[in-house]
Amino acid sequence: MQYLIALAGLVVLVSAVLAALGFRGRPQVVGIDLGTTFSVVALKATDGTVSIIPDHLSGKQLLPSVVTYMSNGKVLVGDLAVAQRGRHPERTIFNAKRFIGRELGEVSQETASHAYRVFGNFSDSSRDPSASDPKSSAGFGVELDGQKERWISPIDVGAEVVGHMRRSVSQYLGFEISRAVICVPAKFGFRETKATQEAFEHAGMKVMRILEEPTAAAVAYNLHKGEGVRHVLVYDIGGGTLDTSLLYMNGNSVSVLSVAGDDHLGGSDFDVQMLRLLTKKLEEGQVQIADPSAKENCESSGLHILAEDLKIRLSSQLQAETRCRHSDGKDRVFVVTREDFENASSELFSRAMAPVEKVLDDQMMSSEHISDVVLVGGASRTPKLRQLLQDFFGPSKRLHTEIDPDITVAWGAASVLD
């Protein structure tokens, strides 16, 4: 008995010392941004610092939200799935977030732009999927060896991505975490939000809290801790969509006043403009001919890869050069300036500012009413977009770009954890 009393006393003493040193045990909850193009998982350590957990296969912070269902039943996620898009486009599902929690009739404009089949769920296996009820849940058709076409829901796709991130967390920490704070777009309704939560639950994660993405972005910068009333504009432009949100913040009270956006404007659209610019230069002979050394060919697929790389480089350079291998065996060398690219993309830049004006008009407000502007999403790195936003809000308004815009939402989700 004396031994047990002494042991209990020792445990109490050690616990008190650890508490005094700020030790609060293992972190138990992660913040996850299940994105349209990329997904990110963040962790708030016991000392209050936030870090991004890298993918356990690639080591990258960003996990492509892409899933390939192989004919043998194997499922590939992330970069492994991206590598299959050219070989198995009909089996590789991307942009699943655009379909989650939605009816088939609501996504008719999306179906034509994807190589995989989109149709509604049906209980009668003999029914022709091409005649799916517009009111049925939108999903994807994948054929497996020796089986009928399988219907896969966006929830299933999301669960595969979340499950992959959960494995990354486990390998990174050395122990399991099964609880998460998650984020959804402010424009999501009940069905989309519920379906997103189900994707996490199917992956074995318990959802502790659901944040709207613009709120998470503002929290990442601790804007919710400011004094008095603040109006914050969150400008979120990723790979395929643009969302602009106007937030009202008063202490810890945060609410979304207005949302506007463009579901078909993002980094991929600027890639297409760069591709058109390269194609025009090639057709008009605005290139140099050089000895072969290029990895990519001058066909559309090769030029698309070069276009994305050029767009990224021109975010930090005023001029960039690239080359492709022509069918005659020689290389074609392109020189593209930032001005060339911005002129070619002028219509996109004009569309990119329209949602900003709309959210303010909806609340009968002007740029002077905005306290802070938060930039989110990889395409927000584009210098021209930042210039347009700075010009619109004036030189006195700060554009928050200190945190990597690709990880801001997940960072904010993790930041709300105590």
Compare 253 and 172 and report the one with higher pLDDT. Answer: 172
Question: Does 7 fall in a domain?
Answer: no
Q: What is the pLDDT of residue 22?
A: 39
Q: What is the pLDDT of residue 371?
A: 93
97 catalytically annotated: yes
213 catalytically annotated: yes
Question: Does 168 fall in a domain?
Answer: no
| CATH number of the domain residue 276 falls in | 3.90.640
Mean pLDDT along residues 218-222: 94
Question: Does 215 fall in a domain?
Answer: no
pLDDT per residue as tens digits for the range 186-198? 999 999 999 999 9
Same domain, residue pair 286 and 251: no
Q: What is the pLDDT of residue 355?
A: 97
| CATH number of the domain residue 149 falls in | 3.30.420.40
Whether pLDDT at 20 is above 50: no
Same domain, residue pair 118 and 73: yes
Find the length of the chain.
418
Which residues face 209 on adjacent strands?
181
Q: Which of 158, 183, 205 is a domain's end point?
A: 158
Same domain, residue pair 302 and 393: no
pLDDT per residue as tens digits for the range 118-149? 988 865 444 555 556 888 899 999 987 767 78
Question: Does 340 fall in a domain?
Answer: yes
Same domain, residue pair 275 and 237: no
Report the share of the chain in percent with pLDDT over 70. Answer: 90
- Asked whether 141 and 150 are in contact (CB, 8 A), the reply is yes
Q: Which of 158, 177, 200 is a domain's end point?
A: 158
Q: How confident is the model at residue 7 (pLDDT cuts 50, 70, 90)?
A: very low
Compare 303 and 148 and report the one with higher pLDDT. Answer: 303
Same domain, residue pair 254 and 309: no
Dihedral (CA of 347, 349, 350, 352) sign: positive
Q: What is the pLDDT of residue 363?
A: 96
Average pLDDT, rounded, for the chain: 90
- Point out the catalytic residue in the list 156, 160, 198, 236: 236
Mean pLDDT along residues 218-231: 89
Determine the Cα–Cα distance for residues 89 and 85; give it in Å rounded to an integer.
5
Supply the DSSP string of 191-233, one letter for each residue: HHHHHHHHHHHHTT-EEEEEEEHHHHHHHHTTGGGSSSEEEEE
Question: Does 11 fall in a domain?
Answer: no
Q: How many domains does the chain have?
A: 3
Q: What is the pLDDT of residue 123?
A: 54
Same domain, residue pair 76 and 124: yes
Same domain, residue pair 244 and 306: no
236 catalytically annotated: yes
CA 338 to each of CA 312, 317, 335, 381: distance values in angstroms, whole numbers, following the listed order: 11, 7, 10, 13
Whether pLDDT at 15 is above 50: no
176 catalytically annotated: no
Same domain, residue pair 261 and 247: yes
Residue for token pair 């349209």? 36
User: Which structural domain range is residue 370 located in?
Assistant: 225-266+349-401
Mean pLDDT along residues 9-28: 45
Supply the DSSP string of 199-210, one letter for each residue: HHHHTT-EEEEE
Same domain, residue pair 251 and 129: no
| C-alpha of 201 from chain center | 20
Q: Which of 364, 362, 376, 367 is nearest to 408 (CA)?
A: 376
Mean pLDDT along residues 165-171: 97
Question: Does 336 fall in a domain?
Answer: yes
Q: What is the pLDDT of residue 126?
A: 46
Q: Which of 105, 129, 158 is a domain's end point?
A: 158
pLDDT per residue as tens digits for the range 362-405? 999 999 999 999 999 999 999 999 999 999 999 989 899 999 99
Mean pLDDT along residues 310-338: 96
Mean pLDDT along residues 230-235: 96
Determine the Cα–Cα distance for residues 151 and 247; give it in Å rounded to an integer.
39
Token code pair at residue 407: 């990880």
Question: Does 144 fall in a domain?
Answer: yes
- DSSP assignment letter at 45: -
Same domain, residue pair 94 and 235: no
- Asked whether 397 and 370 are in contact (CB, 8 A), the reply is yes
- Point out the catalytic residue in the list 192, 213, 243, 271: 213
Same domain, residue pair 133 and 152: yes
pTM listed for this prediction: 0.88
Question: Does 24 fall in a domain?
Answer: no
CA 406 to each of CA 165, 239, 258, 410: distance values in angstroms, whole numbers, following the listed order: 16, 10, 23, 9
Q: How confident is the model at residue 225 (pLDDT cuts 50, 70, 90)?
A: confident
Q: Which of 197, 166, 32, 30 is nearest to 100 (CA)?
A: 197
Mean pLDDT along residues 292-321: 94
pLDDT per residue as tens digits for the range 30-84? 999 999 999 999 999 888 899 999 999 999 999 999 999 998 889 999 999 999 9
Same domain, residue pair 247 and 147: no
